[in-house]
Structure 1
Amino acid sequence: MIDAYFSSTKADLIKKVKEEKDVFKKEKGYFEPQNITENITVYNKRYINIYNKNSIENPFFKRIKSIASNTKKPIATLKNALLNYKDFKNYLKYDYMIEDIKEFFLSKLNLYKDKIHFMRKTAPYKTDFYILAGEFKDVYTTKWKKNKTTSFSGHAAIVANNILANILTKGLKFE
């Protein structure tokens, strides 16, 4: 008898809470369309500031915003895309050029725009983050290989070319 009394009052209490939530949401206007830019600045204020040296450039943010605006939940998609970009950039920025990271991220964002949560680095389920990072590493070369000095001038050029010729002809290995 006691269980029946408490279960009925619990059900009534849950109904009242749901009704009050619905009334509160209607009063606050949660169902009205909202401006994406205003809402996302709350989440990622430091990434949007164009005067901050660590911020995302304006054209890049506009491209992400245009991709996210064509989804079912544009605000959540934009927020998650920026957070995923931050993780992706932090994972690769020490070895690769930022321009390459941005280009690759935008190309993959077009594919993953409806499943943005699969680009997450950490999640309770299996994500494609490390697969995407591996694909990026296969396609792009590192900063160190791009900036490697291969030409010398003057006497150093003759010495370097002689050493290189000896290595190529004898097949010596560096140790």
Structure 2
Amino acid sequence: MSICSWIKTALLKQGWIIARVPLDDKERTSKLVELLVEDNADGRARRLTLHPWLWYERPVRERFEGHDCGLTVEGPVYLGSDGTGFPLGSQLRTEFGWLDLTPAETNQLAVEVRSAIDLVLYRWFTRPDMAGRQLPCRPSRQRYYDDHVAKNLILSATPPTASMEQDAHAK
């Protein structure tokens, strides 16, 4: 058995599907695989993000996740006779079960969910205490520095745990 066959078998056992990639996409695909298999926090985050997309049979176009419910909009999108784009449908998940929605129901619900999201986000953006933090364009991230700052902000916003207090007394 060749090494490629072993790798393919191992990946299939993990739920991964192997497909042939056109030569012109070979470099992009290899970069994607390298990003997914990184053995660090970024690699774990990428794998965690990708994992739910493999739950569904159709390509996922959008996902709206709440605390207790989730809506997964499935594609691709097809144009109706009036030119309106319709996804193939969606699945609504709650703690009580699942509900399959038709393309028209999916469009209607997705519009309502997007409007609710916009309302909440604009309400935050327009708060007086946020005015000084608003920027005209997206700032770039300096991961090493920004992650350290975020970690300190999280620690300052949460009460210390017993192990943190023991560490402080030990110093």
- State TM-score, norm by structure 1: 0.28
Name which structure has the greater RCO, CA cutoff 8 Å, separation 6+: 1
- State TM-score, norm by structure 2: 0.29
Larger % of strand: which? 2
Structure having the higher Rg: 1
